[in-house]
Amino acid sequence: MAEERFRRPADHEELLAALAGKSGPFTAMYEAMMFAAALGKQKGRREPFDKSGEPINLSRVENRSFGDVLLDLLAASEKPEDAKILADDRLKERVQIFEEYANCGLNYIQGQLNASGGRDLTGILSSLVMEALTAPQGDEADVATEILTTGDLDW
C-alpha cells in the first residue's frame, strides 16, 4: 500500500526552498508547510491550488511532535459540526484542508517578502510569530477562560 502524501503548491517551490534551505529558518519543507498551515488558519483562509510540486510523505508530519494533532485540529476547526472528519476514512479530506491552509500561509509570507524587497525572510517569520504571540485574545480565549473558571469542571 502506498504511503499517504500531501502536496506542496508548485507556485511556492522557490519560497519553500528558501524557507528550508541551508540558511532558511526551517530544517525541512514539511516544517515550513506546518508553519504556513498554522499561519493560513490564523489568517482564516484556505486557498485551493491545482499545480503541485513533489509531494511529501505524510508520515514526516505525523512523526513530528504535534504534527498529526495540527492536521486534526485544522480539520476539526474547519468542520466543527462534523465529528466524523477525524475518522480514518476521511484522512484525504483532512490533508486537503491542511494543504489549502498552507497555501494561504505561503501566499501571505510571499506577499510580505515581496513588500520587503525580498530581504530578511527570517525577520519576516519572526515578526509573524511575535504578532501571533502578542495578538489580543479573541472570543475563543474568553470561552476557554469561562469554562476553566466556572467551577463546573471536575478535575
pLDDT tens sequence across 54-112: 888 888 887 777 777 888 999 999 999 999 999 999 999 999 999 999 999 999 999 99
When the pLDDT of each residue in the chain is averaged and rounded to a whole number, the result is: 85
What's the grid cell of residue 114?
Answer: 515581496
* Helix, strand, or coil (residue 135): coil
pLDDT bracket for residue 2 (50, 70, 90) = low
* Helix, strand, or coil (residue 52): strand
Stretch 129-144: mean pLDDT, rounded? 67
Beta strand segments in 14-133, E: 56-57
Answer for the pair 5, 96: CB distance below 8 angstroms, yes or no: no
59: nearest Cα among 50, 48, 71: 71
